Structure 1
């Protein structure tokens, strides 16, 4: 308490340690000292007029000259403003006038009191794993308290000491988390929404307010307060505003209300969205989604589960194709969803699309479907239509229904909607034949059922086919998008060779990637050629890639290719 006693007793307030640490004006320090004098004799709240007139006198209304200083103390969070005068803000048109401060009661803020007591360094000696999620959460809230204290005295000499404590605290939490085995719902949410450290601090601050059961007027929910936690100065605070604006990652997790504060400015108060809050507070640490789907898939022999690992940016494709895929993915955008719901186009938050990818084999149709799934954070349930059709000849109607019924059962059981990928869907989608032959009738019947199931399907379905010319018009009408995948041109082939070629290999002097890119190959063929050539070089004596090796592999691939004559699905 030495700092406080010095602050209260020393006449030359500029020489006190508290004055130097807070870096405030002399008038601000005098106001704080008067509040401290009242606080230590059990007077926690003082009328502003009484306080200011006692310090600066009433002669010539000198106390009016320091209203600006008082306002700064309130804005910085040093002093609380308590008055019923401001409770009904909407009915009071003059609440922004500084003179109205004289009607308020003033008290020292919790943060200023914490600063006065100079809380001792925290104990970070524990090294064992967290016993449970709540023990971990308690430490996260302790970390937020440190950030709050830092924001309160950002410009003081105490700044560096607090930063060191924060670093120790964060390292301490990370170390214990590494050893812990409990289900960390927060870590899942941070990863799912790709939150950076600043966004995590804001989220944890709002979560702490929920656990403290604070009311909607809590200053810890205000935009300026939240920004002060993650900003070094005013310029930094201005830059960080983007984290709390529309289309930011955080706005998928939190909501806000705009209101008129006591100084007449429009401010925002933030809250964790109910859906996310329920997920955090009432989570059940069960198996992951992937495991749950795998368990369900054990009871069927239709689908293959694929967890996508590449995104659209990893795939080399024409720019117009990429733009079209990205426009489909924009259905996930919060603003787009709000508009579609407002216009009555959509009534839920899930992407719904039925898409056909068509084009020659090896042009990236399946890979692009997986990339879209990655962007949607969805798994893929894939089946090979040609294999299933040959397996179920004679039972087509029953078994086409079985495909979709099994998918619906998985969706309902696992509470998620993976992408349904129909690979090699040519036979399903081809034009129906007018014939009296039994096989043709069976084929048409199968297609009619398939058509009916597509009509009823809800979610994302992607069908891949090598041919669009034979597509039945009835199917064409039921797909939202038909996207062509062409064989890559020279420019794209060059990019593929550059991407797929081994980076740490040695090439001979005659090697010329432009010559390789001149061959009209698909991406799948280029990758196969590189793998075959690499195997040949790996077992050679010198281990050097020769141009001739690539040319021989290309010739073998072209000679064995069926692209010129193969008709898939017929």
Structure 2
């Protein structure tokens, strides 16, 4: 471009603006500045009229430091505003070429004269510096850009900047303007006479294409029913539409275009996270709407698996179950519909088959939902949500606390009692968790047994010294526990109608290696150990101790299932120091403690009959063992105090620096068990750390002298002289 008299584009714009001001666009004025206008038009790559409006916007923007609307342009030219409206297309040309832009798209007025324009920053700098403007080929309107325009209009309506009629009119104008866009064609074909459905779908499309892919968009409210979706339809119909969406009778859900998603939010109510309910396009909906572009917008997480569908269904169920704004009759009706809707999901199918009473199923579903949220359910509030404080409420409460409720008896739920009834809790059992998560259930199981499960890989190797008879029995036991031998043996026992569980009792003096034997067997045969502390199984609550014993075996069976799923060897159930459990039963007339212990023993005997895995019990008091238990242990290994030869070997294996002679002397002088020798060795290690040297033989003898609390002293009868 060659400017007249070598003037800059900036000076040309200033000169032309001075002529245009208050000119009323008079023909004589236009003719006078036509050469300069042509230069500006050439610079802007537009026609002369568009160049004139660019000049006016440029000057007014710099003078007023604000956006420029059509009223301001008319005032500058001293021209009729109505006539200025005739030149809207020229202004649109400037906008399409990205020379100007509408100042705040979210504040677009439905009165066009109020919309403000600004020259873009780069173009402003190009003009001031006298640099050429870089132009690009005009791009075709994309799906994203069209959705953004539709969204801007919807935002304007949500912010009450226009009436519903004007909102509808602007949306329809955009539909007409971009009628050839595939997604608009498909939506209008699906709902030619249903504006509300089209408007909802445009919002869902925007969410799918833009919002979810925008890392800067952290608005947790998008497409939430009450906040977004129901605000972009006819205000007179939103409550009816809301009801149809919740009841799954809405045309968008029936046609599988969209679905309600129930997710936890950051908001809390009564100590629980509130649910946020959003409406989203389904994968099928995206295909129907976007056609050839659909695969761009279908994400892997949209293709929900069975578990995801079940979790979503439980959240939906919990929302209705805890809704305080509907009657109990209406609530049950809605809960039935939700259950029926999801009846093909395996979890609901299994629960429906196992639990015939619908109220019990509804109760279980809500407890499962609370489990998903990481909590336990209050018995009182969960019952109240379904029954209010009716007579049925108290009947159900009593049966739950007495643990006679069908859900407790069938092991779907577990009760945690409290002195204050309102603080008593209910949670789902591992059985329910397994129905929910299938083969991955062990990840989610909250059993107390998990912390007591010992992996064989974490057991350190130890060399144990046995007498010859014990060594033979341990070798046979070790061979029997090799997995292929165990499976063959159990198959043979089952064929002959014999119990196929392997029960082992290791009994004898303390410190002789009984517990360590169980650990080393587990390490050698690559088995996990479920370690049970009998003391933890006793409770102040009547009936709780028996319940805990049952739970030990329930946990063990679940562990066995988990090991089978992961192709691991059958685990070992270890009852360490089981004296109290397997001792002779006491007279029940001696008190409630005797009754409880006898009840625990009966349960243990019953469970041993049904045992299909491996159980090892250790005890120091074999003479007091109940005969019923004696019959049920397949292997019985008696541990004696180690012989002189064995004690010598233990001393040598534990203390390499000890001479053979000193080891024999210590073994002969002190009738220690392996555990007691371990204590001496630990003291020696501590001595070396503190003093920097191992103790001498004499110091070792001193340590041995102090090992036992009581010493055998010679006692004399008669009088002292």
Structure number with higher relative contact order (C-alpha < 8 Å, ≥ 6 residues apart): 1
TM bucket normalised to smaller: 0.3 to 0.5
TM-score using structure 2 length? 0.33
Which is greater in Rg? 2
